[in-house]
Amino acid sequence: MTADRPPRVLVTNDDGVHAPGIRALARAAYERGLDVVVAAPRHEASGMSAALSAVTEDGRLVFGETELDGLPDVPAYAVAASPAYIAVLAGLGVFGPVPDLLLSGINRGANAGHAVLHSGTVGAALTAGNNGIPALAVSLDVLTPAASAGSGGAAIAVLDSVDDESRHWATAAELAATLLPWLAEADPGTVLNLNVPDLPADQVAGLRQATLAPFGQVQVSVAERGEGFVRTAVEENAVRAVPGTDIAWLADGYAAVTAIRALGHLPDVELPVDR
């Protein structure tokens, strides 16, 4: 980055290029004078983690220009690839100059705890960070306000009964925007993971730095098992939240931000090998 130009920001997600969350995030960055370009999957790509998958035609990865509602001046591309692959392509200059920052989200549902390993939203941010680009993953916690003790899978079912356009994307976008000046000056490869309650901004208790919970907000269970098949279901994780973690802060009405990093080796582990 240089003082004579605004930071260039690539915005992606795993809910698809026309999801309401990505529009809110791109708008927040654009309104603050950043040089914004959007490149996101043509269709939903949730749970992709950092997978590098794509649809090709004659060996060519397919993408096309599109337009985001309310953002006619922001270049946008619908890409037949996973979020992490899009992050790689951005770092290669496929969507214009290499971005100074990458924003991923706003995801429909919290990406919290160690379950961030499986998130396409977080996977894109970690991939950018692995390539030296500071990144921020942003998610809206659409589960906690609907959940209650004993609700189990019913809490998950509530999600599909709510119009996504009515959710509080602007709350998450505004909080993300407050972190951008810090992120722009952060060390190369810095990655932040932000989770925000699905509430009006004046009802969010505050923003807290958090650790990752030792579990995810939801868990996979076996709903049916038979000869040669299994059917799984996703339900709320009933494990009690650990104080100071992202899930605990969300449960108390706070937004939570965590500094995370991509996988690396464990230097202090002694393995049974020849020296």
**pLDDT single digits (tens) 7-63:** 999 999 999 999 999 999 999 999 999 999 999 998 776 666 666 776 667 778 889
Coil, strand or helix at 62:
coil
Query: In this predicted structure, what is the pLDDT of residue 154?
Result: 43
Query: In this predicted structure, what is the pLDDT of residue 49?
Result: 66
Eight-class DSSP state of 213 = P
The residue type at 235: E
Separation of alpha carbons 103 and 105, rounded Å: 7
Please report, to the nearest 10 degrees, the dihedral formed by the alpha carbons of residues 116, 114, 127, 138 taken in order: 40
Separation of alpha carbons 115 and 252, rounded Å: 20
Over the stretch 57-101, which tens digit does the pLDDT of each residue have? 777 888 999 999 999 999 999 999 999 999 999 999 999 999 999
Separation of alpha carbons 194 and 255, rounded Å: 7
Q: Does the structure show a pLDDT above 80 at 151?
A: no
Eight-class DSSP state of 54 = B
Sign of the C-alpha dihedral computed for residues 24, 28, 29 and 35 taken in this order: positive
Mean of the pLDDT values across residues 229-257? Answer: 82
The neighbouring-strand residues paired with 199 are: none
Query: In this predicted structure, what is the pLDDT of residue 153?
Result: 41
Average pLDDT, the chain: 86
Query: In this predicted structure, what is the pLDDT of residue 111?
Result: 93
Distance, first Cα to last Cα, the chain: 44
CB atoms within 10 A of CB 174: 16
Q: 38: closest CA among 68, 76, 84?
A: 76
Query: In this predicted structure, what is the pLDDT of residue 223?
Result: 75
Length reported for the chain: 275
Query: In this predicted structure, what is the pLDDT of residue 229?
Result: 77
Over the stretch 153-193, which tens digit does the pLDDT of each residue have? 444 455 555 678 889 999 999 999 999 999 999 999 999 99
Q: Does the structure show a pLDDT above 70 at 139?
A: yes
- Sorted by sequence, the CB contacts under 8 Å of residue 257 that are 6+ apart come out as 179, 192, 193, 194, 195, 207, 208, 209, 210
Query: In this predicted structure, what is the pLDDT of residue 40?
Result: 96
* CA count, 13 A, side-chain hemisphere, 14: 29
The residue type at 176: A
Q: Does the structure show a pLDDT above 90 at 222?
A: no
CB 124 within 8 A of CB 142: no
Separation of alpha carbons 22 and 139, rounded Å: 10
Place of tokens 């705890």: 113
CB atoms within 10 A of CB 122: 28
Separation of alpha carbons 43 and 58, rounded Å: 21
Separation of alpha carbons 195 and 108, rounded Å: 10
Q: 222: closest CA among 151, 146, 153?
A: 153
